[in-house]
Structure 1
Amino acid sequence: MRRFARTLTTVALVATVIAGTAGWASGNAQEAVTGGPVGTAGWRAAGLPDPERTSPDGIARFFAGLDPVQQEELARTHPAVVGNLDGVPLELRYAVNARSTRGQFGGARVLAHDPRGRGQVALVYGDLARAEHVAVVVPGSDIDAEHVRPLADMATALRRATGGRTAVVAWAGYTTPVGVGLDAATGRLAEAGADRLTRFVDGLAAVGAAEPSLFCHSYGSVVCGLAARELKAKDLVVFGSPGMRAENVGELGTSARVWAAKDPTDWIDRVPHVEFAGLGHGADPADPAFGARRVPAEDAAGHGGYFAAGTASLRTFAAIAAGDVR
């Protein structure tokens, strides 16, 4: 009987997604960007470390063995690789991407910029190299290089709320769903995103940045859940989550502290928390049974209001990011 009930729930989920009801919107199928950066073939042909086979630690060691003139020469001849390769010195990446983006992302330093697909970007607010605390914000649907403002607003709000003590990265580094259709109901894009997120965070460690706290919104929490076992993070904070592809914190296989927030007006609460036949993302992380630490969010509004000024959710996010919560 229970199995039959789960099947009916799944059928309802499929109908919800396809029909665009109960807060879901139609979306177009996306092709995930994977593999090494643009220009990888030429980089390999020059006998340089394979971007797909060399770890960020290995890339960092390779660049540490080059003098400044040699590093600049690589940046000049292979800018797309140098600007997007995790493990490359931060200042070198910033310089390359500043030239390629020409001020497109004012107010932030550009750590990555990949034009493929809808475009991907990683924006840094603060001094990533010297900050005692680092936060990475992972977005959900509809975020890309051309539509990064909602993510940038979350990152800058978090940095302000910490009093500038935390360097914050707005990481639009994976192919997000468009709308909330079938792409958002399955884990296909999240699986590709999890690999990219894991490598990105490994890259932060390789260049000496502080172990980050990750703030994962909506479908971004699916990405973080799938990456959790491999992520070098001290906190995983999910909000407006459809699920993390795990039934409880233990199944995530992470030593990071796991936090969850969901406000009473968030439409995500109308999405069935199931995972069956490839659809849905499992248990609700905000349910006490999941085992995550609670982030108060009663005064947040809607699916995107968790970083609004004066909210309990933003205050708690800031305390987590700044290391003020034990």
Structure 2
Amino acid sequence: MRRFRFGRAVAATAVALAAVLGAGGWAADTQTAVTGPPPGSADWTADTSPGPRPPDPATAAPAEVAAFFAGLSPARQDALTARHPLVVGNLDGAPVPLRYRANALALAAERTRELARAADPALTPQDHEAARTRAERYRALLDGGRHVLAFDPRGRGQVAEVFGDLATARRTAVIVPGSDIDLLRFDRASDPYGTPAGMARALLDATGRQTAVIAWAGYTTPLGLGPDAATEDLARAGAPRLARLLDGLAVSTPQPPPTVFCHSYGSVVCGLARPTPAQASGMVVLGSPGMGVDSAADLDPGVPLWATARNGSDWIGDVPNVRLLGLGHGADPTGPGFGAHPLPATGAHGHTGYFAPGTASLAAYAAVALGRG
């Protein structure tokens, strides 16, 4: 009997994997997660002229980072930002205006580097095209006074952008995206409400611009719907990065902890991060394949959890909610036994339509983000 049950469980897992792989196309390559401190950290920690030794980005808590900058003169802050833009721009706990300035400097430097690569005769035409694409991406992020809170060119690239004003907003929110999001696809024009930037813009408008929204593409996401999407490896690498972002907001912004919105595979990242009340006022999942936990009881009870009803055209409903042998992401957060507060999805279509204007889901998200959940 036990052998039969085990066989059924393995079969269910195989079905789950087949569904994940077949729902959106096979992705044979697996991703290497970008982790660790930002580029240039060794030079940063060695820079003591003049002043105290800078905190180690690999080990210092955001509260230590905030205390370090609070003890510096504005001139010293500006000098460090100019010398180490990639570090300051990614340093959770650093003053937000300094991070904006640092990331503008880092983006400009990376754009210059990519333009040089695009003209390098030693590189291939494919290399030239890739360099031009990245240079244009950096130019777009530099245009129009955009507020880039984080920028890391390593791998497929990571970025976080603030929509609204973190200094004056009543509340804040963080968007955690799922698969296929990176520096180049952070705010693509096609499928806008399937990107963190598009979701953030929609939520900002839905709250009457009372909530500053951070579109956070700060972890290595799966590409396609292959093995990476069926396992938790990338989510486990991303969860500490999300937790660190939330810790940094707690010491560098005046608002209550943000509401965290977790889309698709991003809900696995959120579940494994297990935010505390000091980090988040609430958590909302949408289009979720599971959160890597068995129920809401496995999360911090001080952080309310909402789960958006799955619309009938969302393919994620075809993925069985299993978690076995390293495959699958567990129970369905929208299930009656999971323990999440339900949110409506009337008017939403597809896997990426929950933030579309006019939907019941977006109206509910605005209410939760404003503390009216």
Task: Check whether TM > 0.5.
Answer: yes
Deviation at 1:25, TM superposition (A): 3.8
Q: Determine whether 1:297 maps to 2:297.
A: no
Deviation at 1:24, TM superposition (A): 5.0
Most deviating of 247-256 and 211-220? 247-256
Q: Which residue of 2 aligns with 1:220?
A: 266
Judge conservation of contact 2:173–2:213 (CA < 8 Å) in 1: yes
Most deviating of 6-15 and 137-146? 6-15
Find the aligned partners of 2:318 and 2:205 in 1 and give their Cα distance. 32
Find the aligned partners of 2:76 and 2:356 in 1 and give their Cα distance. 46
Show structure 1 runs of 5+ residues with no match: none
Most deviating of 201-210 and 111-120? 201-210
Q: Rate the CA distance shift 1:161–1:31 in 2: closer, same or farther, 3 A.
A: same
Q: What is the one-letter code of the residue matched to 2:58?
A: E
SS in 2 for 1:288: coil
Q: Determine whether 1:121 maps to 2:159.
A: yes
Alignment of 1:124-163 (within 5 A): 124-149=162-187, 150-163=195-208
SS in 2 for 1:44: helix
Judge conservation of contact 2:305–2:341 (CA < 8 Å) in 1: yes
Q: Determine whether 1:95 maps to 2:101.
A: yes
Q: Determine whether 1:26 maps to 2:74.
A: no
Q: Which residue of 2 aligns with 1:318?
A: 366
Q: Which residue of 2 aligns with 1:235?
A: 282
1:132-177 C-alpha deviation (Å, 9 max, x unpaired): 2100000000111111112211100010000111000000000001
TM-score (norm 1): 0.95
Q: More helix by proportion, 1 or 2? A: 2
SS in 2 for 1:178: coil
Judge conservation of contact 2:345–2:361 (CA < 8 Å) in 1: yes
Q: Which residue of 1 aligns with 2:148?
A: 110
Identity of aligned residues (%): 53
SS in 1 for 2:356: coil
Q: Determine whether 1:36 maps to 2:27.
A: no
Judge conservation of contact 2:22–2:225 (CA < 8 Å) in 1: no
Judge conservation of contact 1:93–1:111 (CA < 8 Å) in 2: yes
Find the aligned partners of 2:70 and 2:160 in 1 and give their Cα distance. 23
Find the aligned partners of 1:87 and 1:274 in 2 and give their Cα distance. 37
1:249-269 C-alpha deviation (Å, 9 max, x unpaired): 001234211011121211000
Q: Determine whether 1:5 maps to 2:8.
A: yes
Deviation at 1:298, TM superposition (A): 3.2
Find the aligned partners of 2:26 and 2:262 in 1 and give their Cα distance. 21
SS in 2 for 1:290: coil
1:14-69 C-alpha deviation (Å, 9 max, x unpaired): 3344xx32445425211101011110111122342111111000000000000000
Find the aligned partners of 1:298 and 1:5 in 2 and give their Cα distance. 35
Show structure 2 runs of 5+ residues with no match: 48-52, 109-138, 188-194
Judge conservation of contact 2:85–2:105 (CA < 8 Å) in 1: no
Q: Rate the CA distance shift 1:13–1:179 in 2: closer, same or farther, 3 A.
A: same
Q: Rate the CA distance shift 1:132–1:48 in 2: closer, same or farther, 3 A.
A: same
Find the aligned partners of 1:8 and 1:156 in 2 and give their Cα distance. 42
Q: Determine whether 1:251 maps to 2:298.
A: yes
Find the aligned partners of 2:5 and 2:182 in 1 and give their Cα distance. 40
Judge conservation of contact 1:27–1:180 (CA < 8 Å) in 2: no
Find the aligned partners of 1:55 and 1:296 in 2 and give their Cα distance. 38
Which of the numbers 225, 245, 268 marks the counterpart of 2:316? 268
Find the aligned partners of 1:228 and 1:151 in 2 and give their Cα distance. 20
Find the aligned partners of 1:229 and 1:63 in 2 and give their Cα distance. 25
Q: Determine whether 1:197 maps to 2:242.
A: yes
SS in 2 for 1:51: coil
Q: Rate the CA distance shift 1:25–1:129 in 2: closer, same or farther, 3 A.
A: farther
Q: Which residue of 2 aligns with 1:188?
A: 233
SS in 1 for 2:18: helix
Q: What is the one-letter code of the residue matched to 1:223?
A: V
1:180-216 C-alpha deviation (Å, 9 max, x unpaired): 1100111100011100000001000011342100000
Find the aligned partners of 1:230 and 1:44 in 2 and give their Cα distance. 30
1:53-106 C-alpha deviation (Å, 9 max, x unpaired): 110000000000000000011011111101110011000111111233355224
Q: Which residue of 2 aligns with 1:14?
A: 17
Q: Which has the larger radius of gyration?
A: 2
SS in 1 for 2:10: helix
